Chain A
Amino acid sequence: MASMTKRLDKSGQIKDTILGIGKWILIVFFAAYTLLPLIWLTISSFKTNFEVLAKSPFALPEVWQFKNYHNALTVAGLGRMMLNSVFVGVTSTVINVLVASLAAYTISRFKFKGKEKLFLLFTVGILVPLNALMVPYFLIISKMGLYNTYAGMIILYTAIGIPMSTVIIRGLMDSIPMEIEEAAYIDGCGSFGRFIHVILPLARTGIVTAATFQFLTCWNEFVFANLIVSSDKLRTIQVGIRYFTNQFSTDYVSMYAAIVISIVPSILGYVIFQEQIISGMTSGAVKG
């Protein structure tokens, strides 16, 4: 009897070990799948074109070519493009979050006719395939006289993020107890005062989440930036990368450097704002 339990334990242990090994194979595989191409790209960005074309892709560069980065920044004007992306991203994030917070506040705090229908409009907005609206977006922006302007990009980015931001921020505002606001109301604080002094500070985690999500969307956006801007002075980083593929069609290494430069802020920002980004992207998803 005793020996039997022992044997059973043993086979159980073997099973556990196999499962354990299988688990780690999976964990490492997915990490390697994500990281190795990025590492390869980064190392390649320091090679010469000859090394990339004629030598093994696994070899290290003989001399680390920092001038590729210099090329990407100066010849291609990557610096300007990054500034454009930051400017458009920050501006539209600030406006977006302000507009969405105001809307979320009224929807969350007040009873009025058609309120939930209005909110439904916002949630449905999240599901609309925006890429299908390229023609009208192009025409609306052109009709407004905003083709090829910062303002055109800013208003479009602000608008397409409104449904998502409103849904995220409302979710948080709903969780703020009414009593807190009522106290301020009795103290004679008007709607705007309550919004600024009571609700905004309490809702800041939701606002930061929405803002992070919005900024990331703007930073990575390509389709519309490509659609409504033609001048190279206004080009954002993503459109820039697209142009490098033509411009640097033979100069691979400068293009690699350009891609690395565009990825680094995304990764850094993500590592810093990880919790906000994850909760923004998942809460939006669960709602959608």
Chain B
Amino acid sequence: MKPTKSDRKVLIAFLAPAVALVVLFFVIPVIYVAVVSLLKWNGLTSAEFKGIDNFVALFKDKAFLRSILNNVIWAATAAAIQVPLAMLMAIILSRKPKGWKFFRTVYFFPQVISGIALATMWRHIYNAESGLLNGLLRLVGLGHLATDWLGGMDTALPSVLIYWVFYVGYYMVIMMADITTIDESYYEAATLDGATPFQQAIHITIPLIKGTSLLTCVTLASVMGLRQFEQVYLLTNGQPANTTSTIVLYLYKQMQTGNYGRSSAAAIVLIIVGALFIVTIRKLFEDHKKDPKRVIEKEAK
């Protein structure tokens, strides 16, 4: 529909609030962070232009380098373990075994519970004295393995990382929605040819979701891995000795100490690394995208 003249004013009025909010809370902050990353500034006294000094300082800071490494490990773990597990469960549940709706509901729970509640719960599961994990180990006679999971130099990072990996519900649901759009006749033909469910998954399901929901999930998992904050903030606050720090935790701590320039520089690194991740993953999956047999309706239902 072409807007008439009177419509035009209405249209501007309709769009204005949303555009204003997006400009104020997305466009300006990103520009702002970019500018402040070049300053020495504590938010109170007048700022001093420092060029790329903040970035140089960042990449000389072992705590920051460790944070980037942790984020990359985090993203890789999510993409290489969590997403494949989710895919496996999506394939299994989309064949609608008994009670599949119940299981889908349960698997999704961690997604609706706040990160804070989950992290606090897990801090107590990992607790050295009263925690569930050590209790479980003692129960099955592996008491000698019981340890202070979040306090140990070697155990802290894996502990913070791993508990989230087995929460597969989110990615599973995304892939299930995709799998249900696959034409039934493919499977019927395959069954007639004597293909087992396993073969069908390998040769039909996985190739067909590769360029769509699987790509989405790998992208999401990596991007979320890069953004980790709440979990580490609550579980370990980056300790022991920064072994569990992340980029966002780092920039948060820099901000708390009034080092706005360096905090903003870390934010810029995060935004750039995130964009690189998204572009790279898209490229990696591109070959699989050109499947003429299938165009998935991606619109929200």
- List residues of chain A with CB under 8 Å of any chain B CB: 15, 19, 23-24, 26-27, 30-31, 33-35, 37-38, 40-41, 44, 52-53, 56-58, 99-100, 102-103, 105-107, 109-112, 118, 121-122, 125, 127-129, 131-140, 155-156, 158-160, 162-163, 166-168, 171-172, 174-175, 178, 181-182, 185, 190-192, 195, 205-206, 209, 216, 219-220, 222-223, 238, 241-242, 245, 252, 255-256, 259, 262-263, 266-267, 269-271, 274, 277-288
Contact = CB atoms under 8 A, between A and B. Distances in A.
B293 interface: no
Nearest to B224: A129
Contact of A30 (B27, B89, B173): B89
Contacts of A105: 14
A39 to B, nearest CB: 10
B135 A58 contact: yes
B14 A103 contact: yes
Given A35-B109, A172-B300, A278-B108, 15 more contacts: A19-B196, A24-B97, A40-B132, A112-B11, A128-B26, A131-B229, A132-B248, A132-B251, A138-B255, A156-B25, A195-B14, A206-B300, A241-B114, A242-B116, A266-B117
Nearest to B270: A132
Contact of A135 (B17, B115, B174, B260): B260
Contacts of B141: none
B78 interface: no
A262 B107 contact: no
B274 A127 contact: yes
Nearest to A225: B116
Is the contact region of chain B dominated by helix, strand, or loop, or is it mixed? helix
A128 to B, nearest CB: 6
B288 interface: no
Contacts of A245: 120, 123, 234
A31 B116 contact: no
Interface in B1-52: 1-3, 6-7, 10-11, 14-15, 17-19, 21-22, 24-30, 32-33, 36, 43
Scoring B26, B36, B93 by chain A CB atoms within 10 A of each residue's CB, the highest score goes to: B26
Interface string B189-205: 00000001110000000
Contact of A132 (B19, B21, B113, B267): B267
B73 interface: no
A121 B22 CA distance: 8
22 contacts: A26-B89, A27-B103, A30-B168, A56-B135, A129-B248, A132-B270, A132-B271, A135-B251, A135-B255, A135-B264, A138-B255, A156-B25, A159-B24, A162-B25, A195-B14, A242-B234, A267-B112, A271-B105, A283-B299, A286-B216, A287-B300, A288-B219
Contacts of A133: 25, 29-30, 33, 267
Contacts of A156: 25
Interface in B116-148: 116-117, 120-125, 129-132, 135-136, 139
Contact of A103 (B19, B92, B234, B298): B19
A106 B120 contact: no
Contact of A129 (B32, B216, B274): B274
A40 B106 CA distance: 16
B289 interface: no
A263 B135 contact: no
A259 B120 contact: yes
Contacts of B11: 106, 110, 112, 191
A281 B135 CA distance: 36
Contact of B114 (A27, A109, A158, A219): A219
Contacts of B177: 278, 282, 286
3 pairs of A and B residues whose beta carbons are closest in the complex: A283-B300, A103-B18, A171-B300
B70 to A, nearest CB: 15
A223 B252 CA distance: 10
B24 A171 contact: no
Contact of A140 (B1, B28, B271, B298): B28
Contacts of A171: 299-300
A135 B89 CA distance: 40
Nearest to B275: A127
A2 B270 CA distance: 66
A241 B300 contact: no
Contact of A191 (B10, B43, B97, B298): B10
Scoring A41, A269, A284 by chain B CB atoms within 10 A of each residue's CB, the highest score goes to: A41
B227 A131 contact: yes
B281 interface: no
Given A106-B11, A216-B112, A129 B18 contact: no
B106 A35 contact: yes
A246 to B, nearest CB: 11
A162 B264 contact: no
B22 A159 contact: yes
B125 to A, nearest CB: 6
A31 B106 contact: yes
B280 interface: no
Given A111-B1, A190-B10, A222-B114, A103 B15 contact: yes
